[in-house]
Amino acid sequence: MTGLREILGGIIVMGWAGAAAAAELPAHDPLRIVIVSDEVNPHMLSDAELVQPGDLSAAIGNAASGISIAELDEVSSQCVDDALAALSSGVDVLVYFAHQSARGCDGSDRQAQLTTAVQAHLQDGGGVVVFHHGMYSAGGKEAILQLLGARADSIEWDTTAGQDVIAISPQHFVADNGVEYSGMRSFSGAGVAAGEYPFFNNTPDEHYESFTLLTEGGESRTILFASAGADGSAARVLGYDLHRAGWGGHVVYYQPGEYQPNALDDLSGNNFQILANAIVYAATTQEEGGGGDSAGTSGGEDSGGVDGSGGAADDSGGTSGDGATGGPNPPGEDGDGGGDGCSCRSTGDRVPAAGWLFALLAGLRLTVRRRAR
């Protein structure tokens, strides 16, 4: 296949304020983002239908996406050398979209190194967004799934009813900011209290029918999204916000992402809005007490997994922990005395909220590295 996925590589992309629809986001400093991705296609979807390596960086790096970018690097899970280097340099956000265990560019097993790097990134206040099959179980991924907090083990492709995305914590920034729900529906299960919750529908969509939360003592987890059949069957978690002892940063997970027209093509649609919210939230939400040792990659047997939501959920869908988490700091409360938006981990001088002007003058370094098909 030719096109954007094949021709991107070491190019400079100039940005400007376009008229195209975009995600609705608060002002934020330009972000440094690294994506680790790979491809699986169990439903034999076409290139236009399947979210593949290169698609995430193309959508996130689009000048009309609403995300202000300083640096965007997408690497294959089968050639993670550059991702390891980026994580050690202090990026703001890792977007983890990897079904397979990580390998180095020389073919060596690098999953342990990647897990260690992600743990250090979280301890240092960095954010992680786990997208779609990043949470799927595969040989070698056991430790990183324990760190990220869940495991998926089965799939179902539904082209008729799709999947309702039910907002269990509609007040949370990731579920609230710019997301338009089509109505209310009853929901219970997966550790969530029975009630009426806002929802929207994705059709078609891929379900993860077996989804287990992997919990750690003292963690704070807010269930953001869940779903179930129309009859209430197969209740399952679709997304959460996770913080653990020793972390300065957060993990945000969002499951819907198989079908590209729903997930990425509509930059003002709900699914991309949620992804963009998660990226900005993870980049700009830090907790005190990071930098210490984390139990994230150990204790898998001791902490176990709780089928469904895991932990003891409160009425808002958040499991018991150290309190609620909010969205990015509002203007005037950005943590470093500025008043033009949220404070991010990226080093260097702050830029005006009109990040597009910075992009127009300086350009965006967008590098997409993929292993050849």
Q: How many CA atoms lie within 13 A of 307 on its CB side?
A: 5
pLDDT for residue 155: 87
Q: Does the structure show a pLDDT above 60 at 138?
A: yes
What's the confidence (pLDDT) of residue 22?
A: 83
Cβ atoms of 185 and 166 closer than 8 Å: yes
pLDDT reported for residue 315: 39
**Model pLDDT, residue 370:** 38
Report helix, strand or coil for 296. coil
What's the half-sphere exposure (Cβ side, CA atoms, 13 Å) at 62? 23
Summarised one tens digit per residue, pLDDT across range 295-354 is 333 333 333 332 333 333 343 444 444 434 444 444 334 333 333 444 454 443 333 333
Pick the closest to residue 172 from 224, 242, 248 (CA basis). 224
Provide the β-strand partners of residue 200. 165
Cβ-contact 138, 155 below 8 angstroms: no
Per 3-state DSSP, the chain is made up of helix, strand and coil in percentages (nearest 5) of 20, 25, 50
Confidence of residue 257 (pLDDT cuts 50, 70, 90): very high
Contact (CB, 8 A) for 237 and 194:
no
**What pLDDT is attached to residue 233?**
65
Selection from 262, 238, 261, 258 nearest residue 175 by Cα: 238
In the chain, DSSP assigns E strands to 11-13, 31-37, 69-76, 93-97, 127-131, 150-152, 156-158, 163-167, 183-189, 192-202, 205-207, 211-214, 220-227, 236-243, 251-254, 305-307, 318-319, 364-368
pLDDT in the model for residue 230: 66
The verdict on whether omega for the bond into residue 352 sits within 30 degrees of 0, i.e. cis, is no
Contact 130, 93 (CB under 8 A): no
CB 180: neighbour CB atoms within 10 A? 11
80-97 pLDDT, tens digit each: 999 999 999 999 999 999
For residue 345, give the nearest of 60, 128, 20, 103 by alpha carbon: 128
Q: Which of 150-154, 232-236, 272-276, 347-351 has the highest mean pLDDT?
A: 272-276
The predicted pLDDT at position 366 comes to 41
pLDDT recorded at residue 325: 41
Give pLDDT tens digits for 156-173. Answer: 899 998 999 999 999 999
Report whether pLDDT(59) > 50.
Answer: yes
Helix axes 111-123, 81-89, angle to 10 degrees: 20
- The answer to whether the beta carbons of residues 185 and 197 sit under 8 Å apart is yes
pLDDT higher than 90, residue 194: yes
The whole-chain average pLDDT of the chain stands at: 79
SS3 45: coil
Of the candidate ranges 146-150, 154-158, 259-263, 329-333, the one whose mean pLDDT is the lowest: 329-333
The structure's pTM equals 0.78
pLDDT at 291 (0 to 100): 58
3-state secondary structure of 16: coil
pLDDT for the residue 207: 86
In terms of CATH, what superfamily is 4-21+28-368?
Class I glutamine amidotransferase (GATase) domain (3.40.50.880)
Q: What is the pLDDT of residues 108-120, one digit of tens each?
A: 999 999 999 999 9
Phi then psi dihedrals of residue 112, to 5 deg: -60, -40
Residue with more model confidence, 142 or 334: 142
Q: Is residue 124 very low, low, confident or very high in pLDDT (cuts 50, 70, 90)?
A: very high
Please say if the pLDDT value at position 36 is more than 70. yes
Q: What percent of the chain has pLDDT over 90?
A: 64
Dihedral sign (CA 224, 229, 231, 236): negative
CB atoms within 10 A of CB 23: 26
Proportion of the chain above pLDDT 70, given as a percent: 71
